[in-house]
Structure 1
Amino acid sequence: MTWRVSSCFVTLAVLFLWRVEEVAEACSCAPAHPQQMVCSADVVIRAKVVGAQEVDTGNILYGHSIKEIKYDIKQIKMFKGPNQEFDAIYTAITSSVCGVTLETDGTEYLITGELNAEGKLHISLCEFGMPWEDLSDTQKTSLIQRYEMGCECKIIPCSSIPCTISGPMDCLWTDWVVERTVTGEQAKHYACIKRSDDSCAWYRGAAPPKKDFLDTEDP
Structure 2
Amino acid sequence: MTWTVNSCFVTLAILFLWRVEEVAEACSCSPVHPQQAFCTSDVVIRAKVVGQQEVEIGTNIYGNPINDIKYEIKQLKMFKGPSQDIDAIYTASSSTVCGVTLDTGKEYLITGRLNSDGKVHVTLCQFIQPWEELTETQKKSLTQRYEMGCDCKITRCAFIPCMIRSPVECLWTDWVIGKTVNGDQAKHFACVKRSDGSCAWYRGAAPPKKDFLDIEDP
Partner of 2:161: 162
Structure 1 distance, partners of 2:94, 2:17, is: 20
- Shift of residue 59 of structure 1? 3.3
- Deviations along 1:89-136, one digit per CA (max 9) or x if unpaired, are 1111111111111110x2111000001221110111111111111111
Is 2:70 the counterpart of 1:77? no
Partner of 2:144: 145
Q: Unaligned regions of 5+ residues in structure 2, if any?
A: 207-213
Q: Given residue 160 of structure 1, which amino acid in structure 2 is its aligned partner? A: F
**What secondary structure sits across from 2:166 in the alignment?**
coil
Partner of 1:95: 95
- Shift of residue 17 of structure 1? 1.2
Q: Given residue 180 of structure 1, which amino acid in structure 2 is its aligned partner? A: K
Matches within 5 A, 1:1-219: 1-104=1-104, 106-206=105-205, 216-217=215-216
Q: Given residue 72 of structure 2, which amino acid in structure 1 is its aligned partner? A: D
- Shift of residue 8 of structure 1? 1.5
**What secondary structure sits across from 1:12 in the alignment?**
helix
Structure 1 distance, partners of 2:144, 2:84, is: 20
- Shift of residue 6 of structure 1? 1.5
**What secondary structure sits across from 1:143 in the alignment?**
helix
Partner of 2:210: none
Cα RMSD for the two superposed structures: 1.5
**What secondary structure sits across from 2:123 in the alignment?**
coil
Q: Residue 137 of structure 1 contacts residue 206 of structure 1 at CA under 8 Å; is this kept in 2?
A: no
- Fraction of identical pairs, as percent: 70
Structure 1 distance, partners of 2:204, 2:34, is: 14
Using structure 1 for the length normalisation, give the TM-score: 0.92
Structure 1 distance, partners of 2:215, 2:31, is: 24
Structure 2 distance, partners of 1:166, 1:129, is: 30
Q: Residue 46 of structure 1 contacts residue 75 of structure 1 at CA under 8 Å; is this kept in 2?
A: yes
Q: Given residue 160 of structure 2, which amino acid in structure 1 is its aligned partner? A: I
Give the paired residue count. 210
Structure 1 residue ranges, 4+ long, deviating more than 6 angstroms after superposition: none
**What secondary structure sits across from 2:185 in the alignment?**
helix
- Shift of residue 217 of structure 1? 4.1
Structure 2 distance, partners of 1:86, 1:59, is: 26
Q: Residue 189 of structure 1 contacts residue 206 of structure 1 at CA under 8 Å; is this kept in 2?
A: no
| Residues 52 and 61 of structure 1, relative CA distance in 2, 3 Å threshold | farther
| Residues 118 and 59 of structure 1, relative CA distance in 2, 3 Å threshold | farther
Using structure 2 for the length normalisation, give the TM-score: 0.92
